[in-house]
Amino acid sequence: MSALTDYSISELQRLYKKREIGPVEVVKAYLQEIDLKDPLVRAFLEVFHESAVMRAGELEEMDPEGMPLYGVPVALKDNISVKDRLLTCGSALLSQYTSPYDATVVHKLIEAGAVIVGKTNLDEFAMGSSTENSAFQVTRNPWDEECTPGGSSGGSAAAVASGMVPVALGSDTGGSIRQPAAFCGITGMKGTYGRVSRYGLVAFASSLDQIGPLTRDINDCAVVMEVLSGHDPKDSTTLESPAPGLVQGIEEGVEGLKVAVPAGIAGWQVEQPIIEFQEEAAAVLQREGATVEAAGLPGMEMSIACYYILATAEASSNLARYDGVRYGNRIEGATLREMYENTRGKGFGEEVKRRILLGTYVLSSGYYDAYYARALKVKSMICESYRKLFKKYDLIVMPTTPSTAFKIGEKSDDPVSMYHSDIFTAWVNIAGLPAVSIPAGISAEGLPIGIQIIASAGEEAKMLRAAGTLERSFSFRRRYLPGADS
C-alpha cells in the first residue's frame, strides 16, 4: 500500500490544507491500487479513471476550507445513481441501464469535495449476504480469497478492506453494510431510518433500506455520516431534525452510560471466538465507566421470519417495474405475456426470483392475513419492545454476525442457512434503529470478527462514543493489519 493511500480523512485534510500533497496524486495512487488489486478481489464493476483524475484536478484549483471530504476517493455500491453512469444493481436485467440523475448522497459527497472513483459489486438488487448473487462476478474477501466478503454491500466492503478506497457507500436493508464490514475487518454504519436520503437508491424494501458508509475507522465513518445526513425534500421519509454532530463526541467515552448485552448469546449458534470478543467488549465498557447488564433482546426469535416476509413483500412490489417495458433489457416473445416471462425469467437471478415469489405469495389474497398482516403486527411489537428497552439502557452491544466469513459456495444451496447470517442485524432495520459494526479481532483462522453497537432512534452520537472507546481498546488496525505489531 502506498503511503498516500494509508492516510485517514482527517490526515488527508491536514496535508491538503498545508499543500503538502494534492488530490491528483492521491486519486492516482488509489487508482493504481485498484488496478493492482481488483483483478483478484473483483470489488469494482466500473472504475472512473478519467473522470476521477479530472475531478481531482478541478479540486486543486479550489480552497479545501468547508469541504470535509476534499480530495477523498469514494466508491459507490452499484444501486446508487450517478448521472450518465451505468446503474446495474448487479443484475443482467439492468446491464445497459444508465442513470439520468444523481442520488442525493452523490450531491452531498460532491459538495463536500469527494472524488467518485467507481461503482462496486453487490448481490443482485441487494438481495443476498455473500455478493455471490451478482450477475457479473463474485467478489472475494481480501483476508481470504476463498471466503465471501459478506453482502449485499460486499464490493464496497472489500474495496475499503483491501485499501483500494478509504470510503465506500453501501445500503443496509437487513445488515448489508454491517455484516460485510464485520467479515472484512472494517467499520460500517447505518443511521436511524430517515437519517440519510434514499433518493437515487434503487429500492429493495423501502421501509427498511438505508444508505451508509464503510470506512477503515470510526472517525472516518463519523465524518462521512455527517456529510450524508439531513432532511431531503425528495425523500419524504427523511427526518426533519438537523444532521447530528458526530465527530466531536467520539473521544468523550462511555462513563455514565447504561449498556445492555444479550443474555444467552451462545444459544444462537454463535462461534466461540465471537462470544469471547463480545465478553471483552463488555469488560472494556465496564472498565471505562459504563454500567453493563445482561438483558433479553425482544423479538429475536421472530425477527428473521418477520424480516423475510416484509422485505420480500416489498421487493415483489418494487421489482414489478422491471418488465422490459418501463425498465430493463427486453427479451422479445410472440405475445406480451411471453415477453414479460422471457424478460423477467432470464433477466433475474435465482435469489431475486426466489424473493419475488415469496413476496408475491405472502401478499396473495389467501395468505395475506396469515403472513404479511401478522408480520406487520410483529414489527409493531418489536418497535415498541425496543422503545421500552431503551428507556432503561442507552446502548446495546452484541456481535454483528454469528460466524466469521464463510467459504464462497458454502451456503449457496442452503438459503435458510444464508438468511441466518442476518440474525443479529435484521431486527435493527425492523425497529428503524442506528447501528455500527467495528472490527474487534480475528479468529484462529485469521478472519475478522465484528462487534455491533446499537442505539435508540436519533442517538447516533451516543453510539459512536461507545464505538470509539471499543476501537481504541481493540486497536484492530494496529494489531492485525499487515505490517502491524502483533
C-alpha 175/C-alpha 421 separation (Å) is 9
Q: How many CB atoms lie within 10 A of CB 414?
A: 10
| b (16+ CB within 10 A) / e for 147-158 | bbbbbbbbbbbb
Give the amino acid at 249.
Answer: G
Grid cell for residue 289: 465507566
Pick from 154, 97, 119, 134: which is nearest to 45 by CA? 119
User: Beta-carbon neighbour count of residue 82 at 10 Å?
Assistant: 24
Question: Measured between alpha carbons, how far is 210 from 435 in angstroms, rounded to an integer?
Answer: 11
Return the C-alpha cell found at 144. 481470504
Q: DSSP labels for 89-141?
A: TT-GGGTT-B-SS--HHHHHHHHTT-EEEEEE--SGGG--SSS---SS----B
In degrees, to the nearest 5, what angle opens at C-alpha 314 toward C-alphas 187 and 174?
20
Q: Can you tell me the distance from the alpha carbon of 237 to that of 211, in angstroms, rounded to the nearest whole number?
A: 13
The 10 Å Cβ neighbour count of residue 68 is 18
Give the N- to C-terminal CA distance of the chain in Å, as an integer: 19
Active-site position among 81, 134, 152, 162:
152
Q: Which helix (H) or strand (E) holds 46?
A: strand 44-47
Catalytically annotated residue among 28, 37, 77, 411? 77
Cα torsion 410, 413, 418, 420 to 10°: value is -110
- CB-based contacts of 386, cutoff 8 Å, min separation 6: 298, 431, 433, 456
Residue 252 C-alpha cell reads as 468523550
Backbone angles phi, psi at 166, to 5 degrees: -85, -20
How far CA 125 is from CA of 6, 94, 118, 205, 274, in Å, comes to: 32, 10, 18, 10, 30
Q: Is-catalytic flag, 152? A: yes
Cα distance between residue 249 and residue 260, in whole Å: 21
Single-letter residue type at 54: M
Choice among 91, 99, 134, 176 that is catalytic: 176
Is residue 411 annotated as part of the catalytic site, yes or no? no
Is 229 annotated in the active site? no
Beta-strand ranges (E) seen in 176-215 are: 187-190, 210-215
Cell for 328? 430493463
Catalytic positions, written as ranges: 77, 152, 176
